[in-house]
A and B are shown apart, each in its own frame.
Chain A
Amino acid sequence: AQTVTQSQPEMSVQEAETVTLSCTYDTSESDYYLFWYKQPPSRQMILVIRQEAYKQQNATENRFSVNFQKAAKSFSLKISDSQLGDAAMYFCAYRRNTGNQFYFGTGTSLTVIP
């Protein structure tokens, strides 16, 4: 069964600094998607970044980038130049292509210190 593990329940970062959130997953499939979602206090789930497993290049979206290590089944999120608005719960998610099922990690709560 697919599982997604976020081993850091809480993280903190100074404003303008860089922080990396960890995510590992377990799968026997070769084709899948990985996502990072952000959930601010408003509770809306917002897509931050996505990665397709067949693409070797790491995805980037402005200040957000990932380090995708397929062999190690690792998918970490790097936030550069952290801003107060980045404070939120971050969820790592895996989507299998067969059956279109999604699996979520338990989340990492990020605090940004002014």
Chain B
Amino acid sequence: DAGVIQSPRHEVTEMGQEVTLRCKPISGHDYLFWYRQTMMRGLELLIYFNNNVPIDDSGMPEDRFSAKMPNASFSTLKIQPSEPRDSAVYFCASTHYYRGTGELFFGEGSRLTVL
């Protein structure tokens, strides 16, 4: 069974550019989470979805960030315009509330560098 798939693995862009990170959760999972990891702040929850519906986006830093989940197998995290302080590793993770063993399954992360 394929794990959580994220793309791109690495992204280098210039300040002001739009960045789109993509995620394919594990098939059948009904929860999807986006996290950001930095040395300063550790692992921060940005937003999470249940059955494609955003449940809590209070962690989204500002209006430059947006996330969508148009269907059960795809989600995007968009930053527009990007700033150097957005440089981080962005993780997508999924889980099923009732089935399985309860843990989060993480993708390999997307390392974003904004110059």
Number of B interface residues in the complex (CB < 8 A) = 22
In the complex, what distance in Å separates the CA atom of A15 from the CA atom of B56?
A: 43
Q: Which residue on B lies nearest to A106, using beta carbons?
A: B42
Residues in B with CB closer than 8 Å to A33 are 102-103
Q: How far is the CA of A104 from the CA of B42 in the complex (A)?
A: 9
CB–CB A100/B42 < 8 A: no
Q: How far is it, in angstroms, between the C-alpha of A42 and the C-alpha of B89 when the chains are bound?
A: 12
Given A43-B89, A44-B106: A100 and B101 interface contact (C-beta under 8 Å)? no
Shortest C-beta distance, B49 to chain A (Å), equals 11
Kindly supply a per-residue 1/0 record for chain A positions 89-114, scoring 1 wherever the CB is within 8 Å of any chain B CB and 0 otherwise. 00101010001111010110000000
| B45 in contact with A45 (CB, 8 Å) | no
Interfacial residues of chain B within 23-65, with CB under 8 A of chain A in the complex: 31, 33, 42-43, 45, 48, 50, 55-56
Closest partner residue, chain B, to A49 (CB atom): B103
Q: Which residues of A contact B89 (CB under 8 A)?
A: 43
**A35, A44, A104: the one within 8 Å of B103 (CB):** A35
Q: A104-B42, A106-B42 are in contact. Are A50 and B101 (CB under 8 A)?
A: yes
Top 6 closest pairs, chain A to chain B, by CB: A45-B106, A33-B102, A104-B43, A106-B42, A47-B103, A100-B97
